Amino acid sequence: MSSHKSHGGHQARKRFGQNFLVDPHTISKIVAAVAPKPGDNIVEIGPGQGAITAPILSRCPTLNVVELDRDLIPLLQAQFQGYPDLQIHQGDALCTDFSRFYETGRPLRIIGNLPYNISTPLLFHLLTYSGMVRDMHFMLQKEVVDRLAAMPGDKHYGRLSVMVQYHSQVQPLFRVPPGAFRPAPKVESAIVRIVPYAEPPYPATDIGLLSKLVNACFQQRRKTIRNTLKHLMTEQQLAGLDIDLTLRPETLSVADFVRLSNQMEAFS
């Protein structure tokens, strides 16, 4: 997330999806939501020009940041040279092994302003580390936050809702208007808190199968469960399922999908 100083006029880059956060009120609200404390193991994705980095560091001087844009690295190093425990890692968050930041007894707290073009794959990548993560606070396009938090029957409910809610609690916190950024994006943003479960309330016996099932169902969300599953199972297996096959995927809860996936696994 990124600062009110222009730092020699670094231009936000379209290819990185950069929109720098400049509104002090929004910055304060985000930092209050994260509530960083000394000793926290915080990783910031995409610090940009340091808008969030600065107030986080003042409360928690040990910080790892992952920044893709090489041109921003020297600016960040100059701005935060008084913080020897700030580690700046140049690289793509999508390819970053976040387990390298984990320490026993110090679970990760991940924060960031996620560019829209990578937000979904990045969330799926981060969920693979959910056992090491205490919480995540992200600025996302509001529509993505709506999808993360959607309940069955909601038009935003889909693969992202089911898989993120399988692993974690999702709490939309507040909206961020386009005017809080330079340049102002064309979309509204929102802050979301994602808190991984220590144990999923509805454990899947095969998470890969659950993911495949949810993916297949929402690729054809208007079809009934029967029409989606007939490509994956025999008629006999379908008949043995304990679920109404005339339902559409968007009406099934996370628990329903897990139950269905566990029954399918038992047949295999």
For residue 214, give Cα distances in angstroms to 25, 47, 255. Answer: 39, 33, 12
pLDDT confidence of residue 234:
87
Cα 191 to chain center, whole Å?
11
For the domain made up of 207-267, give the CATH fold.
Helicase, Ruva Protein; domain 3 (1.10.8)
pLDDT one-digit tens code per residue, 38-81: 999 999 999 988 999 999 999 999 999 999 989 999 999 999 99
What does the CA dihedral 11, 79, 181, 160 come to, rounded to 10 degrees?
100
Residues of the chain with pLDDT under 70: 1-18
What is the pLDDT, as a whole number, of residue 6?
41
pLDDT computed for residue 195 by the predictor: 98
- Listed by start position, the domains of the chain span 14-196, 207-267
Would you state the pLDDT for residue 144?
Answer: 95
The H or E element containing residue 260 is helix 254-267
- Give me the pLDDT at residue 8, please: 44
CATH classification of 14-196, choosing from 3.90.180.10, 3.40.50.170, 3.40.50.150, 3.90.780.10?
Answer: 3.40.50.150
Q: What is the distance between the alpha carbons of residues 126 and 62, in angstroms, rounded to a whole number?
A: 21
pLDDT of res. 10: 54
